Structure 1
Amino acid sequence: MSKIISIHSYRGGTGKSNTTANLATLVAREGNRVGIIDTDLPSPGIHILFGFGNKHGYGTLNDFLWGRSKISDVACDVSHVLEGQGTPTSKLYLVPASVKINDISRILREGFDAELLFAGYQQLIKELKLDYLFVDTHPGLSEETLLSLTVSQIVLLILRPDQQDFQGTAVTVDVARRLKVPNLFLIVNKALPEYNFEQMCQQVQATYNVPVLGILPDSPDMLRLASQGIFTIKYSNHPISTVLQKMAKQITSKTVTI
């Protein structure tokens, strides 16, 4: 059975898109058919990691939401990012959001049909025969975000070790519980290496009563890559990659337990 996995954060700048791209790539590398959909329509960016840059010669989620295309027609095969590290059954697709100023302005002005977006998830899963669909959400809480959380089998909330993130995450956890999300996990990102990660994990879990999937250390190596590729493919033996690899295996486990 296919799984929808939403990756969310209360605030921007948490590394949500980078984490989404890396986890989806690692899950695909293990022989799965994986899709990624960028629902951060007001501020899209995950496409950069897959080499799209600022060019406009491709279909987007906006085209589907405005009735111009089928959602499967705007799904780009980005399996090349695996660089030969996958299996014969590994496939990775991306539905990017438009970076055109006029399209972003229209989204901010008019919004879009959240129910149609959900229908698009199901169509994409069916037509591309996906095992997993990763949803890169827009930060904060909105109708669209709430819908994505509601229809997801797994929700990953990303936060930094920062008081503003801690408070906002508490609100999001409460909302996720009210929506009865079946599997809710936290990911702490950009933790300074001098922190005691084991102690931090225990503190975060105690604070929210939610399991921590992993803690990602802050690293200048991530900054140096500057979104020019998938970190876990470029630096497969890096400490960040090791943590992300463990997360990916936990996500694909049948029980999704920690």
Structure 2
Amino acid sequence: MSAVTREAVEACLRQFTDPHLDQDPVSAGCLREVDIQGARVSVRLELGYAAGLFKNGWAQMLQMALENLDGVDSAQVKVDCVIDSHQGQAQVPALAGVKNVIAVASGKGGVGKSTTAANLALALAREGARVGMLDADIYGPSQGIMFGIAEGTRPQVKDQKWFVPLEAHGVQVMSMAFLTDDNTPMVWRGPMVSGALLQLITQTAWNDLDYLVVDMPPGTGDIQLTLAQKVPVAGSVIVTTPQDLALLDAKKGVEMFRKVHIPVLGVVENMAVHICSNCGHAEHLFGEGGGEKLAAQYGVELLASLPLSMAIRMQADDGKPTTVADPESQIAMIYQDLARKVGARIARAGEPAMPSIEISED
């Protein structure tokens, strides 16, 4: 029986690809410890993203592979998740109590952006992360309803300066809807909206968040630019449908984030296919392959493709989005995979030196 070496252990680990990092654990820099005691091998990996529902299965798979190595009688693999801060724009100060800010945006309304943002936040929380949700859609806030927060609920005020975010399903939530009457429209000009957004972000007492998910309003206007210039966004997720009109507007969203030097983590395609509940026939009501084409055109990843499902709509309206209403369903698993991929893309991006923000007229 030959002696086990660190090189043999690393070579074994290199044969397996982390599906969220798209790299083997050694190349991805996840390997932290290798301890070889005769025929016993202990390995510790560290993932830079929330993966509570994935890490045990990943550890078991690697353990079985190591135990098949020549000279190994037993192996132990431990996988930890350690989420660091990754700030997008170097000149923008960090947010107190927040490690990473994720902007969820769309070029146009009605594509399921808010539903995606809510399920992304809840899925990140299910993976073991500390998560906050900021409803930045000042004109049409909807996260209060999606998180099942009763109308008229108000946040507490701390030290006459800070709003204490409400908590629902394990996520800290803040929205303009908590400060106004649900039936009163926000008839505000751009500067007032930008000021309100900054107050919501900077005067909320976020409590030690790994991720703050920001549900952006549709479009590419004042709120988007304010967020880009004043908030250290680690990355953005673009939500679209396969429809040509939605894709046209989604392209503008991608271009906007690129102009303000915020990484586009990928594209989420909603309403990709409708499956008849009676006969099982699949139909692409809004076109086919649009999200994939958009992602390919801009060199980003198609992070998830979700069906046109009545359950997604009903569960969001009931204040329990799919990720918590039916956590073992196929759709919920898509959201969980999306959450891990988003976290992994932020971790993989590291902390690149970002150029200064320049807003041009073209």
- Aligning the two structures, in what range does the TM-score lie when normalised by the shorter sequence? 0.7 to 0.9
Partner of 1:96: 175
1:223/1:119 CA distance change after superposition, 3 Å:
closer
- SS in structure 1 of the partner of residue 141 of structure 2: coil
Partner of 1:88: none
Structure 2 unmatched runs, 5+:
1-84, 86-98, 275-281, 351-362
Residue identity in the other structure for 2:336: Q
Is contact 1:23–1:248 with CA below 8 Å preserved after alignment?
A: yes
1:26 aligns with 2:119: no
1:122/1:41 CA distance change after superposition, 3 Å:
closer
Partner of 2:315: 225
Larger Rg: 2
Partner of 1:170: 251
- Cα distance in 2 for residues equivalent to 1:69 and 1:232: 35
* Larger strand proportion of the pair: 2
1:191 aligns with 2:281: no
Partner of 2:260: 179
1:10 aligns with 2:100: no
Partner of 2:241: 160
Q: Which moved more, 1:181-190 or 1:241-250?
A: 181-190
1:256/1:235 CA distance change after superposition, 3 Å:
farther
Partner of 1:255: 348
Partner of 2:221: 142
Deviations 1:138-157 (A, max 9, x none): 11111111232453111001
1:112 aligns with 2:212: no
- SS in structure 2 of the partner of residue 158 of structure 1: strand
Q: How far is the alpha carbon of 1:235 from its aligned partner?
A: 1.4
Residue identity in the other structure for 2:153: G
Partner of 2:336: 245
Residue identity in the other structure for 1:32: A
- Cα distance in 2 for residues equivalent to 1:173 and 1:136: 16
Residue identity in the other structure for 1:114: S
- Cα distance in 1 for residues equivalent to 2:268 and 2:349: 15
- Cα distance in 2 for residues equivalent to 1:146 and 1:47: 24
Deviations 1:200-232 (A, max 9, x none): 554232233322111111112223435211211
Residue identity in the other structure for 1:179: V
- Cα distance in 1 for residues equivalent to 2:316 and 2:211: 27
Deviations 1:81-103 (A, max 9, x none): 2xxxxxxxxx4200022252675
Deviations 1:93-139 (A, max 9, x none): 00022252675334x357526367446535547x5111111101111
Is contact 1:5–1:156 with CA below 8 Å preserved after alignment?
A: yes
- Cα distance in 2 for residues equivalent to 1:215 and 1:100: 35
Is contact 1:160–1:188 with CA below 8 Å preserved after alignment?
A: yes
Give the length in aligned residue pairs.
Answer: 237
- Cα distance in 2 for residues equivalent to 1:101 and 1:200: 35
TM-score (ref. length: structure 1): 0.79
Is contact 2:105–2:253 with CA below 8 Å preserved after alignment?
A: no
Find 2:167's aligned residue among 63, 77, 101: 77
Q: CA RMSD in A?
A: 3.1
Partner of 1:130: 209
